[in-house]
A and B are shown apart, each in its own frame.
Chain A
Amino acid sequence: MTNFHSTIDVSVNGQRRSDEVDHRSTLLDYLREHLGLTGSKKGCDHGQCGACTVLQDGLRINSCLQLAVMADGTEVITIEGIDAEGIDAEGIHTEGIDGTVDRAGSGGGGASLQRTFVELDGLQCGYCTPGQICSAVGVIREIAAGWPSAVMEQVTDRPALTEAEVRERMSGNLCRCGAYVNIVPAILRAQELRS
């Protein structure tokens, strides 16, 4: 007899959880419907808009495209817990990449992004904002870890946090209000604040 449910052990915003999930549930539905963490949004539900972005083991992912059962054993951070998240490369250190991991400003990076999004009007309706901020934490970490992007002259270069990099790396987060002109400065400003 096939079992259609499993118990998963996950850490969500630092709290350990053990819950039974239907194998069909996505991580997004588990967070919203099971845990009541409705900050992560369901926009397209097909991985195209980024409103559902959360951090898993330090990396940003689309929670709408991962089954909750696949998240067993992982650590998930949603917008509800992002304020305590650092925006350094800790946790995603990449083997063989030259350069030191910059730990300055570790802790509170997520909170500074929340502040700069408010101060610089990085939103209008706000629906995409939780995903934008979680994704931005991931972007700043990935740049700190030296991960390449499509706008680099050479993939062997070390990236810097520039407007072009932010625009490229944030392309998985759509904002139908078109607040991009303020989202980009908000991310750049958050980085300035911590350095």
Chain B
Amino acid sequence: MTPLGYARPRDVADALDRAAAPGAMFIGGGTNLVDLMKLGVETPAALVDVGRLGLDRIEELAGGGLRIGAAVRNSRLAADARVRQRYPVLAEALVNGASGQLRNMATVGGNLLQRTRCAYFQDTSADCNKRVPGSGCSARAGDHRNLAILGGSPACIATHPSDMAVAMVALDAVVNVRTPAGTSRTDVRELHRLPGSTPHIETVLAAGSLIESVDLPAPVEARSTYRKVRDRASFAFAVASVAAIVQLDDRRVRDVRIALGAVAPRPWRASAAEDVIRGESPSTALFESAIAAELADAEPLRGNAYKVPLLRNLVVRVLCELCGVDPPVRSLA
């Protein structure tokens, strides 16, 4: 690591001022950024610690929603009784992420803005268009077993690794952002850009913007779940995950919201699948055609093609469970 400045700003305005200095970066819990600094992937000239700006509260919004401060630790958010009762899918996603120690450190803002765990992004001797624009992509011909099948580009197939953000996308959460010019709001589902030819530009946020909080809209009467598939039962990143929220009328799906994790450069809202299901009578066949519609544009490579049937089976099974439909019995093919 190179010598490093450090500041603990007085308030958000002071934090924005300090972040405008060349090479300055915000730091929340540090679980990702400190690691990337050790690896030489990030070389900030100075850190602006935003962990103690009073952004660690969870507040009620008019109408039944919640406003979650960006510095709330992941474990506190998962433990909050209001989150567990009104947004169980979010609490489930949180407790499925990382380890107990990391959840006690990691912040909500940092979780949203965490970087991909693509091995080539983390290895400064490899080619990576995200880390060094124009250097190429070692993953395409290399180990891409856990990389994207949706939304990638020739330049980059890195995945966003968060569990929490997948649930937030399904919940239609909104981030409140502060810039020197004022405040703005962005849907979490629109926060991360697709890579295209500029994978180093990861979000729609202007440089020096600070996420202050995340708003969860008022909860709806629904069944929901977060289901994660990984290489070991605990403390591993997803190879695929799904957050699903289903509202059933008598015999029909009044509304459905599906978000997919670890299969795309951002938490992936499965709008095409939702459109197939909404208003229809739930059945295995319906769910299979829905996920087929979502996966129509999938671009799997040799090493991650397994994610296509995995995701299909995962989504169909979760939707069957939520809708009380017998899941299909089938071979692995």
Contact = CB atoms under 8 A, between A and B. Distances in A.
A98 B235 contact: no
A34 to B, nearest CB: 17
Interface stretch (B45-53, B176-184, B243-251): B45-53
B61 interface: no
Contacts of A66: 29-30, 34, 105
B128 interface: no
A97 B102 contact: no
Contacts of A147: 75, 78-79
B104 A61 contact: yes
A127 B234 CA distance: 22
A53 B91 CA distance: 24
A142 interface: yes
B35 A97 contact: no
Chain A contact residues, majority secondary structure: loop
Interface in B1-53: 1, 3-6, 8, 27, 29-31, 34-35, 37-38, 45-47, 49, 51
A168 B99 CA distance: 9
B30 A65 contact: yes
A4 B4 CA distance: 5
Nearest to A46: B35
A173 B105 CA distance: 16
A130 interface: no
Contacts of A24: 1, 3-4, 37
Interface in B98-119: 98-102, 104-105
B331 interface: no
Contact of A146 (B1, B79, B104): B79
B51 A172 contact: no
Contacts of A50: 99, 101
Contact of A46 (B38, B49, B92): B38
A69 B6 contact: yes
Interface in A40-97: 45-47, 50, 53, 56, 59-62, 65-67, 69-70, 72, 94-97
Contacts of A23: 3-6, 47
Given A47-B102, A62-B102, A155-B91, A148 B234 contact: no
